[in-house]
Amino acid sequence: MDLPFDRPSPVTRRWRVTGWLLAGVWLFFLNIPLFTAVHQAQPWRRAVGVGTLVVFGVLYVLIFQWARALRQAHRPIPVGRARASVGLLLALGLAGIPGTAGDWLTTLVFVAAAAVFLLPPVDALVVVVLSALTPPVAAALVPGWEAESTVVFAVLLASFAMFGVSRLAQRNSELRAAQAEIRRLAVAEERARTARDLHDILGHSLTVVAVKAELAGRLLELDPARAGTEIADVERLARQALADVRRTVGAYRETSLSGELAGARTALVAAGIVGDLPDDLPALPAAREELFGWVVREGVTNVVRHSGARRCVIRVHPDRVEIADDGRGPAGGHDVAGPEPGGAAGDGGHGLLGLRERSRRLDGTVTVGRRPDGTGFLLRVTVPVERR
């Protein structure tokens, strides 16, 4: 019979040794038939008894390890091979009768335990019942064999114990699978968070760089000195974006509202948009200030990139931040009262998706749409004041 004894999943050396010991320690109970076989008067009976018991013990351990490896790899045990394995163990026990006489019945304990570990519940129950009935039936039919009540008890006890072991092994396997899935989801979530942060950082910085580079190109012949200033700003912004990316990868980046407002002022001026920004900021908790900083970054990026606006107004309150412009407004024409429509015009919703996820951490809500007068675009993020 072809048994795949390779391990589908890596395990530690200590765990492998533990598995072999767990399977082999029960072979101690083969000492009774082995003692009978060793003391046979005829050499051929002695050889048959000892040989079949040795092969029986080795095969039992190998079958146990094979099934255990499949369980650890979360793979089903092939029913056909499992039945063949149990049948082969029974055949070896029967083959040893010339050397072990009635003590061969001890092998039924191992056959029943293997059936519980390998076979489906119905098949295993049939094997256990037959193994428990065999000793009294054999004692009644074969002269000289005594009724082995201890074997019957051992069969039932071993089957019950193996049932508990197999259920425990199954639960442990499911737990390891769940833990692996949790780790995978955590990695995926961290990658998604990093991707959102990089999108927010580079989307804003590269938009400003593109606007300033375009402005410098127009001024190159008209006002070379001004063009040089814009090019210097492009270099500074590029270096700042690179530093932001490095801090993001290193998980050390922080976003401040005041810093984002300063960057927004520079971006709006470079784009030729009049900016109406607050001079004084209310005292905000650190988490809310960071969130509002991201809102300013994302909102101004969309104004510069998509709006076609001439004026942008930013207002910061203790419980909310608002960014409004007089541009073309959202593509879908959503009213500001409709919370969280599909996304900013031309942005595909990626930046707003990041804002919504950050806002949910503070029980906040994101609303986008037209301004109350029905024109332009408005981005508003509101956070309950009660949250500290």
Write out pLDDT tens, residues 260-270: 888 888 888 88
Two tokens at 343? 């996304």
Summarize pLDDT for 160-205 with one digit per residue, the tens: 888 877 777 777 777 777 777 777 777 677 677 777 777 776 776 7
pLDDT at 5: 37
Of 14-18, 283-287, 315-319, 334-338, the range with the highest mean pLDDT is: 315-319
pTM passes above 0.95: no
DSSP state of 337: T
pLDDT at 19: 56
pLDDT at 206: 75
pLDDT at 257: 87
Query: Does 347 score more than 50 pLDDT?
Result: no
Kindly report which listed range (113-117, 252-256, 265-269, 347-351) carries the lowest average pLDDT score.
Answer: 347-351
Query: Does 381 score more than 60 pLDDT?
Result: yes
Summarize pLDDT for 34-89 with one digit per residue, the tens: 888 888 889 898 899 899 999 998 898 888 888 888 877 778 889 899 999 999 99
Cβ neighbours around 275 below 10 Å, total = 19
Helix, strand, coil % in the chain, rounded to nearest 5: 70, 5, 25
Of 85-94, 149-158, 302-311, the range with the highest mean pLDDT is: 85-94
More confident residue, 86 or 255: 86
More confident residue, 239 or 51: 51
Q: Give residue 386's pLDDT band: very low, low, confident or very high (50, 70, 90).
A: low
- Phi, psi (degrees; rounded to nearest 5) at 380: -135, 135
Q: Give residue 379's pLDDT band: very low, low, confident or very high (50, 70, 90).
A: very high
pLDDT at 357: 85
Radius of gyration over every alpha carbon of the chain, rounded to an integer in angstroms: 38
Rounded to an integer, what distance in angstroms lies between the CA atom of residue 332 and that of residue 345? 8
Two tokens at 272? 């030729």
Query: Does 279 score more than 80 pLDDT?
Result: yes
Summarize pLDDT for 103-160 with one digit per residue, the tens: 888 888 889 988 988 888 899 899 999 988 888 887 778 776 665 668 888 888 888 8
pLDDT at 325: 93
Run of H or E residues at 380: strand 377-382
pLDDT at 51: 92
SS3 state of residue 48: helix
pLDDT at 12: 47
